[in-house]
């Protein structure tokens, strides 16, 4: 497979962000209605997901975290199967066993989703080492948040990747809060780029609400990793509009702060840019939005009609069949 093309259709980027937004809002509505288990959404962070993933090649591998829906959908995951997985249906990507927090999609190169903060960081160097030893061309892309940058695994992983010059792109989606703790209260050094640079690797930072900036910065970082020069770190300064999870009362931030960030939301600003450039009309935007909503409605119907795993299969893949390991 070849690397992503430099010229990306801007409408395609907008379509993906609209799909992610519609999907995650449907998750919230489903949870409120008692149909969907609680999970973590990334509403407001769509540019970071879409901009990064569209800079990758088909044979690159992704390790991600608890806010993975955007990464998966931008990679081409079917929203119906994704939602079926979240709802525990056997029609989901992992047979309904992973939910939203542990999903993997082998055919899309999504190695894993981890709900353990920083766990994907621990595994990324090992996956990259295997890619190198097996002579495979794909690089490893590891998504994590600013909260994970507080973990020891952050330092261990960056150090090892730099020491062994492994092909890892470390993507930090810095939304300023690790659950309910602001980065200023958790980090003595809030410049995450400086932390990464201390491990002798190139480190960049960009506006994570600007999909053009995200894509361009990532494209350059990917090229550097792919050239064999070792790992690269990129910080995407972003913000989540919704709570950390469905059970978060958001007592740690003011509503006015959220509203201020919404004014520079990725969908809003990118749409305005396309309109100003005469590349999109209001009528065309509404049509794209309606298409995304319709696709998600169909996905909800698919997931709700999905089948439950039979009781007799509950131990499937839990124990190794007799004789299989010989």
Of 84-98, 166-180, 198-212, 265-279, the poorest mean pLDDT is in 166-180
Q: What is the pLDDT of residues 227-246, one digit of tens each?
A: 999 999 999 999 887 766 66
The Cα 276–Cα 279 span in angstroms is 8
252: β partners:
none
CATH number of 10-303: 3.40.50.970
Per-residue pLDDT at 30: 87
Of residues 253 and 165, more confidently modeled: 165
Q: What is the pLDDT of residues 244-275, one digit of tens each?
A: 666 665 667 788 988 898 899 999 999 999 99
DSSP string, 77-123: --HHHHHHHHTT-TTSTTTTSSTTTS--BGGGTEEEE--STTHHHHH
Average pLDDT value for the chain: 90
The Cα 255–Cα 258 span in angstroms is 5
Backbone angles phi, psi at 262, to 5 degrees: -65, -25
Domain spans, the chain: 10-303
Beta strands in 146-292 (DSSP E): 168-174, 177-178, 181-182, 203-207, 232-237
Using the predicted structure, report yes or no on whether residue 55 has a pLDDT greater than 60. Answer: yes
**CA-wise closest residue to 203 among 182, 174, 177:** 174
Q: What is the pLDDT of residues 10-35, one digit of tens each?
A: 999 999 999 999 999 999 888 888 88
| Rounded mean pLDDT, 64-93 | 94
Per-residue pLDDT at 325: 60
Backbone angles phi, psi at 172, to 5 degrees: -100, 110
């Amino acid at each position: 497979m070849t690397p992503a093309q430099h010229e990306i259709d801007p409408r395609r980027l907008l379509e993906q962000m609209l799909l992610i937004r519609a999907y995650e809002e449907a998750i919230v509505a489903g949870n409120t209605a008692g149909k969907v288990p609680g999970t973590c959404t990334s509403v407001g962070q769509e540019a970071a997901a879409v901009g990064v993933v569209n800079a990758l090649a088909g044979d690159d591998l992704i390790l991600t975290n608890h806010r993975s829906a955007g990464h998966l959908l931008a990679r081409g995951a079917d929203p119906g199967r994704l939602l079926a997985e979240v709802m525990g249906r056997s029609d989901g990507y992992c047979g309904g066993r992973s939910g939203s927090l542990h999903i993997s999609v082998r055919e899309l190169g999504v190695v894993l989703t981890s709900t353990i903060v920083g766990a994907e960081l621990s595994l990324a160097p090992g996956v990259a080492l295997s890619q190198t030893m097996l002579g495979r061309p794909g690089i490893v892309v590891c998504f994590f948040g600013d909260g994970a940058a507080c973990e020891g695994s952050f330092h261990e992983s960056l150090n090892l990747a730099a020491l062994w010059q492994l092909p890892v792109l470390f993507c930090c989606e810095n939304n300023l809060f690790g659950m309910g703790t602001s980065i200023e209260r958790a980090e003595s050094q809030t410049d995450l780029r400086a932390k990464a640079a201390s491990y002798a690797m190139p480190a960049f930072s960009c506006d994570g609400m600007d999909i053009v900036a995200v894509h361009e910065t990532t494209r350059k970082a990917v090229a550097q990793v792919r050239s064999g020069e070792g790992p690269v770190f990129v910080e995407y300064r972003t913000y989540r509009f919704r709570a950390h999870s469905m059970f978060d009362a958001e007592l740690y931030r003011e509503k006015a702060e959220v509203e201020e960030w919404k004014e520079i939301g990725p969908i809003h600003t990118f749409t305005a840019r396309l309109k100003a450039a005469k590349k999109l009309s209001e009528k065309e935007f509404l049509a794209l939005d309606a298409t995304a909503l319709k696709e998600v409605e169909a996905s909800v119907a698919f997931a709700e009609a999905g089948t439950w795993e039979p009781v007799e299969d509950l131990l499937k893949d839990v124990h190794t069949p007799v004789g299989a390991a010989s």
